[in-house]
Amino acid sequence: MSLLSILDLDVKGFNEILDLTKRIKSNPGEYKTALSGRKLAMLFEKPSTRTRVSFEAGMLDLGGKPLVLSASELQLGRGESVADTARVLGRYVDCIMARVKKHESLQELDKFSGVPVINGLSDREHPCQALGDLFTVREVKGRLSGLKMAYVGDANNVCNSLMLACALAGVNITLGCPKELAPDKFYVDSAGRLGGRRSFVEFVDDPVKAVSGADVVYTDVWVSMGDEAEADSRRKLLRGYQVNPSLMRHAKKDAVFMHCLPAHRGEEVVDEVIDSKQSVVWQEAENRMHVQKAILVREMSR
Written in H, E and C, the secondary structure of 37-68 is: CCEEEEEECCCCCHHHHHHHHHHHHCCCEEEE
Annotated catalytic residue: which of 220, 242, 278, 292? 220
Q: By residue range, what is the domain housing residue 42?
A: 6-126+288-300
Give pLDDT, residue 75: 79
* 91 annotated active-site: no
Instruction: Name the residue among 287, 281, 288, 280 with its Cα closest to residue 140.
Output: 280
- Examine residue 42 and state whether it is found in any structural domain, yes or no: yes
Task: Please check whether residue 36 lies inside any domain of the structure.
Answer: yes
- 264 is a catalytic site residue: no
Say if 131 falls within a structural domain. Answer: yes
Give the separation between CA 68 and CA 50, rounded to whole angstroms: 14
Q: Is residue 106 part of a domain?
A: yes
Residues 231, 251, single domain; the answer is: yes
Do residues 104 and 244 both lie within one domain? Answer: no
259 shares its domain with 138: yes
The active-site residue out of 38, 50, 288, 290 is 288
Residue 129 annotated as catalytic: yes
User: Residues 52, 99, 259, 290: which is the catalytic one?
Assistant: 99
The CATH number for 102's domain is: 3.40.50.1370
Domain count, the chain: 2
Same domain, residue pair 75 and 147:
no
215 is annotated as an active-site residue: no
Residues 132 and 277 in one domain: yes
Q: Characterize 39-60 residue by residue with b for buried, 16 or more Cβ atoms within 10 angstroms of its Cβ, and e for exposed.
A: bbbbbbbbebebbbebbbebbe
Contacts of 99 (CB under 8 A, 6+ apart): 43, 44, 45, 46, 48, 51, 52, 120, 121, 122
Instruction: Please list the pLDDT of the chain residue by residue as tens digits (302 residues).
Output: 899 999 999 999 999 999 999 999 999 999 999 999 999 999 999 989 999 999 999 999 999 999 999 888 887 756 789 999 999 999 999 999 999 999 999 999 999 999 999 999 999 999 999 999 999 999 999 999 999 999 999 999 999 999 999 999 999 999 999 999 999 999 999 999 999 989 999 999 999 999 999 999 999 999 876 777 788 999 999 999 999 999 999 999 999 999 999 999 999 999 999 999 999 999 999 999 999 999 999 999 87
pLDDT at residue 77, as a whole number: 59
CB 42 within 8 A of CB 55: yes
Same domain for 83 and 118, yes or no, is yes
- Do residues 134 and 253 share a domain? yes
- 185 lies in the same domain as 221: yes
Q: Does the residue 115 lie in any domain?
A: yes
Question: 152 and 269: one domain?
Answer: yes
3-class secondary structure, 100: coil
The answer to whether residue 1 sits within a structural domain is no
Phi, psi of 297, rounded to the nearest 5 degrees: -60, -45
102 plus 163 within the same structural domain: no
The single residue of 52, 94, 110, 129 carrying the catalytic annotation is 129
288 included as an active-site residue: yes
Catalytic residue among 215, 234, 260, 278: 260
Q: How many CA atoms lie within 13 A of 114 on its CB side?
A: 9
Q: Does residue 53 lie in a domain region?
A: yes
In degrees, to the nearest 5, what angle opens at C-alpha 80 toward C-alphas 77 and 84?
135
The one catalytic residue among 124, 126, 259, 290: 126
Of the candidates 301, 209, 227, which has an alpha carbon nearest to the alpha carbon of residue 264?
A: 227
Residues 141, 66, single domain; the answer is no
What pLDDT does residue 223 have?
85
- Could you tell me what percentage of the chain is helix, strand and coil, using 3-state DSSP and rounding each to the nearest 5? 50, 15, 35
Asked if 62 and 102 sit in the same domain, the reply is: yes
Q: 159 an active-site residue?
A: no
